[in-house]
Amino acid sequence: MNRSALHRWLPRLFGARGYQWIQERVRQVNSLSPGHLRRRRQFHRLNRHAAGTEVVLRPGLVIQLSRASREDAEWFSFRSAEMAAEFDSFLHETVDRHRLLDVGAFHALFSLAFARRPDTEAVAIEPSPPAYAVLGDNLRLNPDSRIRALEIAAGAAEGSLRMESNWLHLRALAPGMQSSTAVEIPVRRVDDICDSLGFEPDAIKIDVEGFETDVLAGAQSVLRRFRPILFLEVHPPFIAALGRSLMEVWVVLNAAGYSVFDRRGRQITREAFVKLDGFPRLICKPSTT
């Protein structure tokens, strides 16, 4: 069985949560690799003189983080090679960007890293109450960062969305799905959010646990008018659990005139996109640029 088939088969056998648990065990094994140990030594070297809430994420990149976000910073620094590479790619690609829309911001790590310059600002959207509480703590620790936070979900239409707890995250439930942790969360379209705030993003990060199609569908005006670069994490097993498909994500991106690349800059075709597995981090750029 090849890797692609394995990633399609495991979620069906163990469910989305079981599949994620397996992914975590794989990451633990990878933590013994030389690359992991090298990144860990670098992180601790950068932070050997850090005091209080100060965290040095990369050379010259210092922010204040609550204790609850410390592990989050470590994941994007050394615990996961893929997440560290994603963060490095984000920093590289946004060096000349000024307005970030962070959809699925969690603790706002990306927003804080982005908005550290005086000529930048961000809007952070996070529906999970526990994550949003930590996000708020982080914003208070960084009062000079121009970040506006919204405790809502983004979707294809205004209304409400049934979501279930998945650790500190919330994940959308398909119609008819039952969950003991289900909650109703207000939903707004990205187009409406940006219009009401007078916000014109030139970069958008989307990490929404399988709800990618709906978020992109509600952002078509923003994508066409402002042509922001997109940092998109796709979740094939979660997308399938919602009764959706990767082809639907591709169609929405294609309709907005975007090309898709992996974090190494290699363009992804439609045929390859619909076969994506794992939780790949992608960069989507306007086809006209």
Task: Say what angle helices 81-93 and 34-46 make with each other, to 10 degrees.
Answer: 60
pLDDT the model gives residue 167: 80
> For 148-203, how does the pLDDT look when each residue is reduced to its tens digit (9 = 90+)?
999 999 999 999 999 999 888 999 999 889 999 999 999 999 999 999 999 999 99
Residue 21 has pLDDT above 80, yes or no: no
Q: Mean pLDDT of all residues in the chain?
A: 91
pLDDT the model gives residue 225: 97
Residue 46 has pLDDT above 90, yes or no: yes
Domains and CATH numbers, the chain: 80-286 (3.40.50.150)
| pLDDT average, residue stretch 44-68 | 96
What percentage of residues in the chain have a pLDDT greater than 90? 79
Report the C-alpha gap between 255 and 217 in whole angstroms.
Answer: 10
pLDDT the model gives residue 166: 81
Confidence band, pLDDT 50/70/90 cuts, at residue 3:
very low
Residue 26 has pLDDT above 80, yes or no: no
Residue 72 has pLDDT above 90, yes or no: yes
> For 222-233, how does the pLDDT look when each residue is reduced to its tens digit (9 = 90+)?
999 999 999 999
Find where tokens 């490095």 sit: 88
Report the C-alpha gap between 261 and 263 in whole angstroms.
Answer: 7
Confidence band, pLDDT 50/70/90 cuts, at residue 87:
very high
| pLDDT average, residue stretch 127-147 | 97
What percentage of residues in the chain have a pLDDT greater than 70? 88
| pLDDT average, residue stretch 7-32 | 60
Q: Does the predicted TM-score (pTM) go above 0.85? A: yes
Confidence band, pLDDT 50/70/90 cuts, at residue 19:
low
pLDDT the model gives residue 288: 64
| pLDDT average, residue stretch 199-226 | 97
